[in-house]
Amino acid sequence: MFRKVLHSKIHRAVVTAALPDYVGSITVDELILKTIGLRVNDAVTVANCRTGARFETYVFRGEAGSGKIEVNGAAAHLVEPGDAVIVLHYAYMTDAEYERWRPTIAIMNQDNSVREVGHYYPHGDPSLGGDAPLEVSGSEVTRESTARDREPRRAEPRAGEPVRRTGERR
């Protein structure tokens, strides 16, 4: 039996353009694609961290090093430039494949450069007692430090805060 599981993830990339009159897709900087093993035409789910909107589309290759994260076509109405998004790619795997698989995660900077690359462990990292699912290459990252590092980039309001954009009238 095959199950749909996480293959790779771009965590909190910043939308650089929303182009509703362009052919549908999401254009992603080629360097990001190579970093996580995402391919042109792969199907992805995109989650807008500001609104909670989710949509499915497919990948176009953007110029390497451009930092482009452009949402095209009808889905462009679900984002605005500056929104933080999470791009999720799934794969179908057998249970045996799943046991060996470690999804690749790119944690992004504000400028859409890759800050860190990590891998999720499906059963938690055994060296950390099995309860910390994220291993990040090249640095010691705990759940607490990961949350702290993300805090300044938080685009969504805290529970109970009103949602307002710069320049919005009350």
Closest to 73 measured CA to CA, from 84, 61, 88, 58: 58
Sequence-distant (6+) residues with CB within 8 A of 56 are 43, 44, 45, 46
- The residue annotated as part of the active site, out of 58, 92, 98, 137, is 58
- The residue annotated as part of the active site, out of 8, 22, 25, 98, is 25
Query: Are 1 and 95 within 8 A, CB to CB?
Result: yes
Q: Provide the strand spans (E) within 30-169.
A: 43-48, 54-62, 69-72, 84-93, 104-108, 114-120, 134-136
145 assigned to active site: no
90 assigned to active site: no
The distance between the two most distant Cα atoms of the chain, rounded to a whole number of Å, is: 55
The residue count for the chain: 170
Q: Catalytic residue numbers?
A: 25, 58
